[in-house]
Amino acid sequence: MQLSFFCSILPVVMKMYADVLVEIRNKHVDKTFTYHIPKTLEEDAEVGKRVLVLFGSQQIEGYILALKNNSDVEAKDLLEILDEEPVLNEEMLELGKFLQEKTLSSLSNCYSAMLPKALKASKKTQIHKKEVLYLSLTEELEEALEKVTSASQKDVLALFENETRVLKTKANKVSASAVNTLIKNGILNLEKEEVYRYQIKNQERESAKVLNEEQQSAKDKIIASLQKSEIFLLHGVTGSGKTEVYLSVIEEVLKLGKEAIVLVPEISLTPQFVGVFSKRFPNDIAVLHSHLSDGEKYDEWRKILKGEVHICIGARSASFAPFTNLGIIIMDEEHSESYKQESSPRYFALDVLKKRSQTHHCPLVLGSATPTLDSMAHAHKKLYTYLPMKKRAQNAVLPECILVDMAEEVKNRHPIISRELECSIIEKLNQNEQIMLLLNRRGHSTTITCSNCGFTYRCPHCEISLTYHKSSKNLRCHYCGYTKYIDEYCPNCHEKSLNYYGLGTEKLEEYLENIFPTARIVRMDRDSTTNKGTLEKITEDFLNHKYDILLGTQMISKGLDFPNVTLMGILDADASLQIPDYKSNERTFALLSQASGRAGRKEKKGMVILQTFQPENYIFQCVKEHSYFKFYKYEMNIRKTLKYPPFYYLVLLTFKSKDYTAVRKEALKAKEFLEQNKDPETILLGPTTANMFLVNGIYHFEILIKYRFDDKLINTIKELDEFVLLNKKVTMDIDFHY
Ligand code: ADP
Ligand code: ZN
């Protein structure tokens, strides 16, 4: 009693002023400014909504971060409030600040990364409304049918047999005039309603599989911690049935009325994968991935915001799915590099998910056949709970893996497909089984050189040779997108003597068509799947055995489940080892293990043929033996010796400018500043020119910082960014690694 009395005399907070974070891509303006809220907008003003304000003479967007009664400064009026409901709730507002600290990028940049693109003012993506027909409230279908005599009206009403709502456009196809009459006579009601642009294909509902022992044990452990922010590492070999574990855990979470996020790398976010979920949880899923249009993504996001679905499946950005009552967070293929954003804010989805798991007191499950060294090290230290699944579901065995020495094959004039692989392909074709071939390089030929004068086509903006794309008959730079028409004659000596070297997926396709003329062959890479729906079509057709051979880039290495595939050929296993990066061993091992995992997933035993010029390489031996731990031990040793993660943290500073002298000077200045302010144990490397020194006409210099305990480092970098480097021509990217 007394309490409520007390409450009622508390002063009502007047919403006179708003602190607005303006959306300007300039770190020096990354703070809030106070605006006065005009009387007319007072009621609508809420924290987390987007607003339009005058900044200088410019109209720009911003977010309301706080409301207050008074202001020390003279404030301009807010111009407009853009949202009916806040787009950032309290958790998201906090999460943005957390990201800002983690990535040292601007707060407004962080918020905009968290929201769907459609919410940017420049893109006027509207909510889609369509006219929808209902039977009038009092009408039962039978009653309605009795009232009408015309056949076409009866046909329109027949649409309501299985549906309660029917799109007017659909009914009009039966008979537009009948529809109008039905509306006029009050039998049908017409309403304008929001319709979602994206629909998961309706599929038959599927019930849960009986879990095997390993799956059950994993599930039980996760379920036992459903109210805790515990992190699990689900280390299951390829085909061990991790997805089934996710599904069964989600089922329990839904029973509690809670929600689930399932993060999947972009390339494994296939219709097949989404289908598995939607068959189990029909109409309860939002999907967020880059194949959707901005409008579709916006709709999916709002399904979550409005609480219409409980599950979100999506790529990296789905970590920001605006759920308010999370019960489980799953990160499938947790080793995937797509979980790190490579533009500002350069965040790790894992950091976001850990934070959300703490906020919501719910478990986070990291699943992989090849966990990152970092995750496995966490599991070793018991910071993550380790859940192994060593066997394939349904007792399928892991495929046999053969290493073929390509040096021998080149001598025997089999430089593309080794004799061993060729024989195996023929054998599988004869047995009516399917084959996958991995070549992680798209295009036709990777180098075009003149045999007369030695001329090579290079990108004029970058430092690399251009790739020939036969299907589009042009040369392309895979870094900056520069394209060039190709002539029959050398542009330098004008002789007809151009040679096409290097193997890409297009050339491989041609080659295969020549040596296996009766085989049905299909290619999957970024070029063959640009049109909407093609990826789905290729997957479905291959699954239905309309093709015998599927060749492709790493797009084919993950997530796909084709029971009839018994042979996986890996054509250029060495390629990813040659990339100069401390992670290239880890990346190669994961790619090849994942790819191997596509073969022999059901009753039929699988086989993998791995073509390499270095068959004795330890990484390939580990792949051959399916021995993650052998690889783990080996690689951890290297990382320790060379002071790389997970023993050291890394920050890569990249200095960029069109002006070579300026960028070099700033990089040296930065080095000096860091040298003076760092912890003695912290290691500085560089400045050196980056691997890709010149991209799109911009010069790149790098400084690599390796550190373990350096409390001041973050502040030092912030200072460097804000006060030390003031040359407007040079920008500095800050990129944390672990
Ligand atoms: P992973 O993601 O671990 O590579 P999947 O989840 O794709 O493996 O499962 C591999 C195959 O085994 C799938 O076809 C799946 O339907 C099947 N499967 C998984 N668990 C079971 C089970 N308990 N009983 C029967 N089949 C299963
Ligand atoms: Zn280029």
CB burial of residue 218 (10 Å; 0-12, 13-18, 19+): buried
- Ligand in nearest proximity to the CA of 467: 2
Distance separating alpha carbons of residues 558 and 570, to the nearest angstrom: 14
Of 573, 575, 613, residue with least CA distance to 407: 613
Give the strand pairing for 32-36 and 17-22: antiparallel
Q: What are the structural domains, with CATH classification, of the chain?
A: 16-123 (3.40.1440.60), 129-194 (no CATH), 213-395 (3.40.50.300), 400-442+504-639 (3.40.50.300), 649-737 (3.30.70.600)
CA 244 to ligand 1 centroid distance, Å: 6
Residue of 215, 234, 243 to mutate, ligand 1, most atoms within 8 A of C-beta:
243
136: helix, strand or coil = coil
Give mean pLDDT, residues 642-659: 92
Q: Residue 249 is inside which H or E element, if any?
A: helix 242-255
| Neighbour-count burial of 573, counting CB atoms closer than 10 A to its CB (0-12 exposed, 13-18 middle, 19+ buried) | buried
Q: What are the structure tokens assigned to 723, written together? A: 């006060």
Residue 456 pairs in a beta bridge with: 449
CB atoms near residue 124 (< 10 Å): 7
pLDDT at 12 over 60: no
Pocket test for ligand 1, best of 207, 215, 336, 394 (most atoms within 8 A of CB): 394
Question: pLDDT of 373-383, one tens digit each?
Answer: 999 999 999 99
Question: Residue 139: pLDDT band by 50, 70, 90 thresholds?
Answer: low
Q: How many CA atoms lie within 13 A of 653 on its CB side?
A: 31
CB 482 within 8 A of CB 464: no
Calpha distance 519→87 (Å, rounded): 53
C-alpha–C-alpha distance, residues 720 and 675, integer Å? 12
Could you tell me the distance, in angstroms and rounded to a whole number, from the CA of residue 131 to the centre of ligand 1? 42
DSSP line for 680-694: TT-EEEEEEEEEEEE
Asked if pLDDT for residue 505 goes beyond 60, the answer is yes
State the residue for tokens 């920008």. Answer: 731
CA distance 733 to 343: 9
Q: Is 241 left (phi over 0), alpha (psi -120 to 50) or beta?
A: left
- Res 121 pLDDT > 70: no
Per DSSP, the residues of 280-347 read HSTT-EEEE-TTS-HHHHHHHHHHHHTT--SEEEESGGGGG---SSEEEEEETTTT-GGGB-SSSS--
Cross-sheet strand order for the sheet of 17-22: 76-77, 32-36, 17-22, 58-68, 50-55, 80-81
Residue 183's Cβ-count burial label (10 Å; 0-12, 13-18, 19+) is: middle
Largest CA distance in the chain: 97
**For position 552, what pLDDT does the model report?**
93
Is residue 135's pLDDT more than 90? no
Predicted confidence (pLDDT) at residue 162 exceeds the cutoff of 90:
no
Residues 334-361: tens digit of each pLDDT: 999 999 999 989 999 999 999 999 999 9
Residue nearest to atom 15 of ligand 1 (CA): 241
Mean pLDDT (whole number) for 595-617: 89
Q: Is the CB of 211 under 6 A from ligand 1?
A: yes
Residue from 235, 558, 561 whose mutation best tests the ligand 1 pocket (most atoms within 8 A of CB): 561
Place of tokens 């490579």: 342
Question: What is the pLDDT confidence band of residue 394, given thresholds at 50, 70 and 90?
Answer: confident
| Nearest atom within ligand 1 for CA of residue 243 | 6
- Give the pLDDT confidence score for residue 197 in this predicted structure: 72
62, 90, 354: which is closest to 229 by C-alpha? 354
Q: Evaluate whether 464 touches 594 at the Cβ level (below 8 Å).
A: no
Residues 571 and 594: their CA atoms lie apart, in Å, by: 15
Interval between CA 344 and ligand 1 midpoint (Å)? 37
User: What confidence category does residue 393 fall into, taking pLDDT thresholds of 50, 70 and 90?
Assistant: confident
Instruction: Please give the residue that has the higher pLDDT: either 156 or 581.
Output: 156
Mean pLDDT throughout 636-648?
A: 92
Residue 489 confidence (pLDDT) above 60? yes
SS3 389: strand
Residues 6+ apart with CB under 8 A from 276: 206, 243, 247
> Facing residues of 285 across strands?
311
Asked if omega into 345 is within 30° of 0 (cis), the reply is yes
CA distances to 272, 455, 457, 474, 485 from 492, rounded to whole Å, are 49, 7, 10, 18, 15
Residue 366 CA to ligand 1 center (angstroms) comes to 17
Contact 409 CB / ligand 1 (< 6 Å): no
Statement: residue 233 has pLDDT above 60: yes
User: Alpha carbon of 500 to those of 155, 560, 652: distances in Å?
Assistant: 62, 33, 36
pLDDT tens, position by position, 710-720: 888 888 998 88
Residue 701: predicted pLDDT: 92
- Residue 445's φ and ψ, nearest 5 degrees, are -125, 145
Encoding tokens for residue 703?
A: 């400084």
CA distances from 285 to 126, 259, 353, 550 (A): 22, 10, 19, 30
- C-alpha–C-alpha distance, residues 599 and 436, integer Å: 8
Rounded to a whole number of angstroms, the CA Rg of the chain reads 29
Q: How far apart are CA 180 and CA 528, in angstroms?
A: 45
pLDDT of residue 487: 83
pLDDT of residue 613: 93
Q: How do residues 250-263 score in pLDDT, each as one tens digit?
A: 999 999 999 999 99
Q: Is the CB of 241 under 6 A from ligand 1?
A: yes
pLDDT at 126 over 90: no
Please give all residues whose CB falls under 5 A of ion ligand 2, grouped by chain where several chains appear: 459, 461-462, 477, 479-480, 482
Q: Give the length of the chain.
A: 738
- 182 has a pLDDT exceeding 70: yes
Alpha-carbon span 452 to 443, nearest angstrom: 24
Extended strands (E) in 671-730: 683-695, 698-707
Determine if the peptide bond prior to 645 is cis (ω within 30°): no
| Ligand 1 close to Cβ of residue 103 (< 6 A) | no
Angle (nearest 5°) at CA 506 between 503 and 507: 45
Residue 419 has pLDDT above 50, yes or no: yes
- Per the listing, tokens 């080794």 go with 418
Give, for ligand 1, the residue of 209, 238, 244 to mutate: max count of ligand atoms closer than 8 Å to Cβ.
244
Indicate whether residue 212 lines ligand 1 (CB < 6 A): yes
The answer to whether 439 touches 504, Cβ cutoff 8 Å, is yes
Percent of the chain scoring above 70 in pLDDT: 95
- Give the pLDDT mean for 120-137: 71
Cβ 239 under 6 angstroms from ligand 1? yes
Indicate the DSSP class of residue 456: B
Looking at mean pLDDT, say which of 64-78, 104-118, 412-426, 592-606 comes out highest: 412-426
Out of 2-16, 197-211, 358-372, 520-534, pick the least confident: 2-16
Residue 654 token pair:
């990249």
State whether residue 55 is helix, strand or coil: strand
Both tokens of residue 200? 């998961």
Q: What backbone torsions phi and psi does residue 262 show, to the nearest 5 degrees?
A: -120, 110
pLDDT at 4: 46
Whether residue 202 is predicted with pLDDT greater than 80 in this model: the reply is no
Check pocket membership of 497 for ligand 1, CB cut-off 6 A: no
H/E element holding 367? strand 364-368
Partners of 189 in beta bridges: 134
Q: How confident is the model at residue 632 (pLDDT cuts 50, 70, 90)?
A: very high
Token output for 20: 């607005």
- For residues 494-505, give the mean pLDDT: 87
2 has a pLDDT exceeding 50: no
- CA–CA separation, 444 and 502 (whole Å): 8
Average pLDDT value for residue range 321-326: 96
Q: What is the mean pLDDT of the chain?
A: 88
Residues 270-312 have pLDDT tens digits of 777 888 999 999 889 999 987 788 888 888 998 999 999 999 9
CB 567 within 8 A of CB 574: no
Vertex 208 angle, CA 202 and 210, to 5°: 155
Alpha helices in 469-549 (DSSP H): 505-515, 534-543
Residue 435, SS3 per DSSP: strand
